[in-house]
Amino acid sequence: MPPKVFRASFRVAWVDTDAAQVVHFSNYLKYFERVEEEFYRHLGFTFDDVAMQGYWFPRVEVFCQYRKPAKFNDLLEVELTVEELKEKSVKYGFKMFKQETQTLIAEGYVTIVAAGRQTGKAAPIPGEFVEKLKPYCR
């Protein structure tokens, strides 16, 4: 069975543009994170669930290739997949398209680790969460 893909879409806000009249490159990371947040809600997790179990998910590595500029008011569609699932980390892959033309705008990945909020140390990802991620693994 092919891995599941999570999709979300949203509009580019004016504040996300810069003086070149395109989306500032740092904002793609915000978009990736926003999609990750929607993904967790889709899986049925709330932030409070995770918080109560005493975890953060700090980012340890980020990569992004910018293919075509995104502009104000563009409707962007993002695909999230699980590129790699390890005991203590997850690597999410992202592809971002302009919905109207299906042009690839950017692609990249973000690797996060599970970390105890008190200790700050890497810790195994909770089993319940692992189970929910599995269908999205390549």
Chain residues that interact with a second copy, rule: CB under 8 A: 11, 13-15, 17-22, 24-27, 29-30, 33-34, 37, 46-48, 56, 58-66, 69, 71-73, 108
We find the least distance from the C-beta atom of residue 131 to a second copy, in angstroms, to be 22
126/137 with CB nearer a second copy: 126
Closer to a second copy at the Cβ: 25 or 134? 25
Give which of 105, 52, 32 is closest to 75, Cα–Cα.
105
Spatial distance between the Cα atoms of 38 and 9, rounded to a whole number of angstroms: 10
Residue 39 phi/psi, 5-degree rounding, is: -60, -45
Nearer to a second copy, 17 or 97 (CB): 17
